[in-house]
Amino acid sequence: MEEEAKDIIVLGAIRRGERKFDKIQRSTQIKPEELNEILEKLEERGFIKVEEKKGWLGKKIELSVTEKGSNELDQRLHEVKEKWSQMQALYQSGDKKKLQGFMDDNRSFFPMMMFFGVMDIMMFSMMFSMIGASMGDYVPAESMPDGADGGMDDGGMDGGGMDDGGFDIDIGF
């Protein structure tokens, strides 16, 4: 994941209410040392505000997004949504080469698209299938949400022997 994409993801996590380091780290899956660097950079740029508060167990640090940071995040989200719309249009046109070129040129946007829920994972998977690539060729594994492979790990089969097409319901008898 590119550095700038991580900055925006961290900013988004803070804006949606994750104000403490450990919660931001957990939701973004960014290593603590790198997250610390990103937070320092965001503070230097005036995108976040760091507040020390006194709690029961001593000092605690809370982060919040400034108006400047919120405006930057809105601008980036708009940009990400436009990129997704362009990818959808290229997919629907059926032009494999243009789609692959666009995806190659814009791979830094994929982690943001996933984190902010901009993309439709099923359509994203179909795009990769169309160009003969896998999602892992474009998106690092730690950036992929659970089930990002469209649930096709085992060819769509549950492997558990439910071959009657019915429901498996335990009613307690």
Calculate the alpha carbon distances from 94 to 4, 41, 105 in Å: 31, 41, 18
Residue 39 maps to which CATH number?
1.10.10.10
Residue that finishes a domain, picked among 49, 66, 83: 66
My answer on whether 59 and 115 are in the same domain is: no
Q: State which of 48, 66, 84 marks the end of a domain.
A: 66
Question: pLDDT category, 149, cuts 50, 70, 90?
Answer: very low
Q: How many helices (H) and strands (E) does the chain have?
A: 7, 2
Last residue of a domain, one of 66, 85, 109: 66
> Are both 75 and 136 inside the same structural domain?
yes
Rounded distance between C-alpha atoms, residue 164 and residue 155, angstroms: 18
Q: What does the pLDDT look like over 6-56, one tens digit per residue?
A: 999 999 999 999 999 999 999 999 999 999 999 999 999 999 998 888 877
At residue 173, does pLDDT exceed 60?
A: no
pLDDT digits (tens, 9 = 90+) for 65-123: 999 999 999 999 999 999 999 999 999 999 999 999 999 999 888 889 989 999 888 88
Q: Per the structure, how many domains does the chain have?
A: 2
Whether 37 maps to a domain, the answer reads: yes
Same domain, 57 and 120: no
Q: Which domain holds residue 21?
A: 3-66
> What is the Cβ-side half-sphere exposure of residue 43, based on CA atoms within 13 angstroms?
12
Count of CB atoms within 10 A of residue 45's CB? Answer: 14
